[in-house]
Structures are given as structure tokens and as C-alpha cells.
Structure 1
Amino acid sequence: MTAHPAPTADSPLLKTEVADGIATLTLARPQSRNSLSEAMMAALTGALADIAGNTAVRAVVLAAEGPVFSAGHDLKELQGHRDDADRGRAYFEDVLKRCSTLMTALVRLPQPVIAAVEGMATAAGCQLVASCDLAVAGAQARFCTPGVNIGLFCHTPMVALSRNVSRKHAMEMLLLGAWVEAEDALRMGLVNRVVEKGSAVAAATALAHRIAEKSQVPVKLGKAAFHAQIEMGLDEAYAYASRVMTENMLARDAEEGMSAVLAKRAPSWEDR
């Protein structure tokens, strides 16, 4: 088993930068294909927890170093527990629980998250992209849920994937385990736009800045409501959305925004 150098203060697993209201999280273990090892998942989950309570952060960009955005779970870690007394059952359950916690943290984060994908995003790495609110892909980015090719259906990536693309597109990816090119990912709805190779981070950051210019009241209410209502039946969803929109209308910034429209002036946001 090949050992990868342990992360240090000078070479962290995850790099975090905050500037102009945008937090950029960069997976920084290209030598391990930015796999979602236990340590990487812990680093990402911790960073998201810190960002959630930081009102200075208005949007998040999730990027990666190297030619692979993320190769998904660290197979060496998983295989290393095959000799456990339970053949790895307890470990597998724990790892998948940690992964689910990370993915739901992205969905439940108050701030919108934009994936900036260059290179390959496979298995749980593809799940990571699908769990973000928006995604920008470099022209040579590729996506895959290849578990079926090694006897392991991508069950947990399926959850995020099936909530982003149509059922038949999701099933095609899951059953074939074949590569999906950037333009096809755009057509399927897995990503929002495709840009020149090497410019995904810049394009994602530009989107983040556009979001950051808005009042954070509707952005945060809207993100939470979107993910809540999409799991509901039609009548329940309309009732829920009406309640949330009423609260939004009572916010100071909604009153200011409507007044600004009527007065034909630019609004002044206070994020309340």
C-alpha cells in the first residue's frame, strides 16, 4: 500500500481563503486524487461548520488542485478494513455516515455553494458536485459514477445525483459507469455552465460575487426553502412556500427592495 505524505501546516488537506465575502475551499491532495478520505471529509465538514456561522461569508466556491477534482472514497482506507472481525461492516457504516454528514452539510449550509470542477469527478467526488447548489465545469471536466464496474453500485452518490438530473440520466450514469463529458453534464443538468479549461474557478467566483451582491435574507431563506419544498407534495410545497414568503415579505430588505423598485432607485441592503 502506497503511503501518502501526512498533511502539515505548510501542505494542508484543505485550503481555505476568504475574500470579499467569498470563501474558497480548495481540496489540496492531488497526489491522492483529492479522495474523500476520513481526514478530507473531516476537514471539509469542519470548514463548512465554521462558514455556516460566519455572516461575513456570503457564498462559497469549492475547488480542487490537480487533474482530478475528487476520485471519491479512499479505496485503500476501505480495503484496509476487510480483515476486521466483521469484514469491515462497522467501518463501512461509519465512513458512509461521515460522507452523508458532509453532503447534507453542503445542502444545509446557509450560504450557496458553487463547485468549480476541472478534470475528473468520480463516485463520491461526483456526489460532491451534485450536492453543491451550482456547478461550473472546465471544458475538459468529466463525471462518472463507476461503482458498478467494480461490483459496487454507487448507492450514496445516487442520492445526490437523482436529485439533480432526470431519472433516466441518473440511471444511465449509475448502470453504465461510463464517463460523462462536460457538455453532456450541462445538457443533463449536473452542471450550470461549461467554460474554457482552467477558468472554472474564475467563473464560479464571478457567480459567487453576483450572489454576494444580493440581500442575504432572501438568499438564505430561499436556499433552505428550495431544498425543503422539493421533497414535498405539491399542495404541501405551496403551503410551505407561502409561509416562508410571507416571512420574507416582512423582512426589512424586502420592504426596502419593493420601495426601491417603486421609487426607481437602487436598493440599500442591511441583510435583515
Structure 2
Amino acid sequence: MTDVQERTPAGVSAATAGTVYEHVRLTREGTVATVTMARPQRRNALSEAHLRELLAAVHEVSTSDARVLVLAAEGPVFSAGHDFADVGGRDVTGVRDLLLLCTSVMQALQAAPQVTIARVHALATAAGCQLAASCDLAVAGLSAGFCLPGGKGGWFCHTPAVPVARAVGRKRLMEMALTGDVVPAATAAEWGLVNAAVPDDELDAAVADLAARVSRGGAASTAHGKAVLYAQLDRPERDAYAIAVEAMAAASQTAAATEGRAAFLEKRPPVWPA
């Protein structure tokens, strides 16, 4: 059975753990923790300090009893990508270190036992688009747009292309990366980059509805299911089935699976184990 990170006891909130952040805000409402990028004056550009705080906040939520992690932003854009003021003075080793830190943030969003949902308003550019694509799910306001502009800006979006490719496929990735054009939210939904594009004034409600729907099952079952889905994605079908069969067989013996089967057979709502 795939390892799942341990959680804090019920009732312990990630938002009350005492960590003070400068570039992000961590809040909690019920079982939903929200990490909000709060550098509007820099268009939420991803400096090293910002990335380190994002990583710390995601890890803080990961070790809490929250069921959902929402990644949001304040200000005129969702994120303008890497902070060029932070990149410009670095040599190749320094830039590599920054990109590895950014990669750690993306991988932490996928490794979190919570379901991660990007709440995207306005523009998500380069590494900002990468953030949205790295979350398990994404909802965008109709005013939002997504782009990988590096090809026309002199610094190709190699790392942002990794999760975007896995969301939209080869030809659409090539179009985004080679043209640098902004993909409107409605088109992003058609392409699979986001799950839904909704009117801006309905964005919060749509995110809340999705968060409620992905929280229906037991926490441990959801965390394990998410981990296995990522383990088998992009593998050859034979390998994917080998991973999935073993994981599903092992999961059949868990308390959550036993309760789910019993509730179905007894025609009653399930009572999920803590």
C-alpha cells in the first residue's frame, strides 16, 4: 500500500499552527485550507522567498487534518511566473537551484494527501501556469488566461511545460509553448488544463462545490487513491495495471473500503473511520 503522510489529530488546524508568512496567507474554513499568494505588487511573481513560503505552507497543510488545499492568489493576476529580478543576477548554478526549488513546490502539491485545487483568476503565466497545472484540479474565472510565453521572450518555458503537457497533450502544449499566446479560460477547460471555467462572480462558489464533492470519501482512502493515480499516470498500460491491481487489492482490506461496501449493501450512509 502506498505510503500516506501522517496527519495531525482531528481538530488541529493548519491555519492555527503559528507560522507567520510574508508572501502567502494560510487560512482554514472547515476542512478546506487555502494558501493565497499575497505579492500583488509583484504580480505574485515567484521569487526564491515566495517559493520557500509556498513550499512551507503546502507542507504545513499536508501534515494537518484538512481534506482540501486550495491554491489562490490576490491582486491583478494569479501569477506572472518566475520573478526575473531574482533570476537576473544568478549564474547557471543559482538558476538551477531556483528551478529545483520551484519543482519541489509543484511536486509537493501533487504529493499532499489533500486534494489540491487551483483557484485561478486573471492571468497565469509560465511558472504561474505551471502551478495551476500541478494542482490535482483547477477552476478558473472566465477572465482568466493561461500562457507559456518563454519561447517568444528568450527563456523557453521548459519546466512549466512538464505538467502542462500532461494536462493538455502534445499538440496543444506545442501550440502554447511555441506561440506564447494566451489561452482563454473557456478554451483551457476544453483542453483539460482546468476542470471548469465559470463567471468570475461564481468562482468561489464553484471552488467550494468542487471541494465538497472531492471530500465525500474517507480521508485516508482519498489520499491513497490520489497517490496511486499519480503513480500509474504516464506509465505503459501494462505497468499501470500492475500498479493499480496491487494497490486496489491492498486497499480492499482497509477499514474505509470495508465500511464503504457495508454501507452500500445495507443501503445507508457510510460512517468513515477517522
Q: What is residue 16 of structure 2 aligned with on the other side? A: none
Residue matched to 1:149: 152
SS of the equivalent of 1:57 reads coil
Q: CA separation in 2, counterparts of 1:11 and 1:59?
A: 20
Is residue 35–residue 58 contact of structure 2 (8 Å, CA) maintained in 1? Answer: no
Say if 1:45 and 1:105, in contact at 8 Å, map to a contact too: yes
Partner of residue 231 from structure 1, selected from 207, 216, 234: 234
Partner of 1:98: 101
Give the corresponding residue for 1:6: none
1:167 alignment counterpart: 170
- In 1, the alpha carbon distance for the partners of 2:27 and 2:136 equals 19
- Per the alignment, in what secondary structure is the counterpart of residue 166 of structure 2? coil
**Structure 2 counterparts to residues 1-272 of structure 1, below 5 A:** 12-54=22-64, 56-81=65-90, 88-271=91-274
Aligned equivalents of 1:77, 1:237: Cα separation in 2: 40
Distance 2:36 2:218 in 1: 26
Q: For 1:64 and 1:198, how far apart are their aligned partners in 2?
A: 15
Which amino acid in 1 is paired with 2:88? Q
- Cα distance, 1:12 vs structure 2: 2.9
C-alpha distance in structure 2 between counterparts of 1:36 and 1:202, whole Å: 27
Which digits, 9 at most, give the CA deviation of each residue in 1:80-134, with x for residues without a partner?
Answer: 33xxxxxx11111111111111111111111110000010000000000000000
Count how many residue pairs are aligned between Structure 1 and Structure 2: 256
- RMSD, matched Cα: 1.5
Preserved CA contact (<8 Å) 1:118 1:198: no
Do the aligned partners of 2:147 and 2:180 also contact (CA within 8 Å) in 1? yes
The CA deviation at 1:10 is 9.3
Q: Which runs of 5+ in 1 are unaligned?
A: 1-8, 82-87
Stretches of structure 2 lacking an aligned partner (at least 5 in a row): 1-18
CA distance in 2, matches of 1:113, 1:45: 13
C-alpha distance in structure 1 between counterparts of 2:193 and 2:123, whole Å: 14
Shift of 1:213: 3.1
Q: TM-score, normalised by structure 2?
A: 0.90
User: What TM-score comes out, normalization by structure 1 length?
Assistant: 0.91
Aligned residues of 1:127 and 1:158 also touching (Cα < 8 A): yes
**Contact 1:143–1:179 (8 Å) recurs in 2:** yes
What amino acid maps onto 1:12 in structure 2?
A: E
Q: How far apart in 1 are the matches of 2:106 and 2:20? A: 27
Query: 2:138 is aligned with what amino acid?
Result: A
Instruction: Please give the alpha-carbon distance, in whole angstroms, between the structure 2 residues aligned to 1:126 and 1:246.
Output: 36
Give the AA of the match of 2:111.
Answer: R
Distance apart, 1:231 and its partner CA: 3.1
AA of the residue aligned to 1:13: H
* Cα drift, residue 216 of structure 1: 1.3
Are the aligned partners of 1:123 and 1:147 in contact in 2 as well (CA < 8 Å)?
yes
Are the structure 2 counterparts of residues 71 and 198 from structure 1 closer, same or farther at C-alpha, using a change threshold of 3 Å?
A: farther
- Counterpart AA for 1:28: A
> How many Å apart are 1:208 and its aligned residue?
1.2
The change in CA–CA distance for 1:11 and 1:93 in structure 2 (over 3 A counts) is closer
What amino acid is aligned across from residue 261 of structure 1 in structure 2? F
Q: Percent identity?
A: 44
Comparing 101-110 and 125-134, the one that deviates more: 101-110
- Is the Cα contact below 8 Å between 2:140 and 2:203 reproduced in 1? yes
Between 1:155-164 and 1:9-18, the stretch displaced more is: 9-18
Q: Partners in 2 of 1:109 and 1:217 — Cα distance? A: 12
Deviation at 1:11, TM superposition (A): 8.3
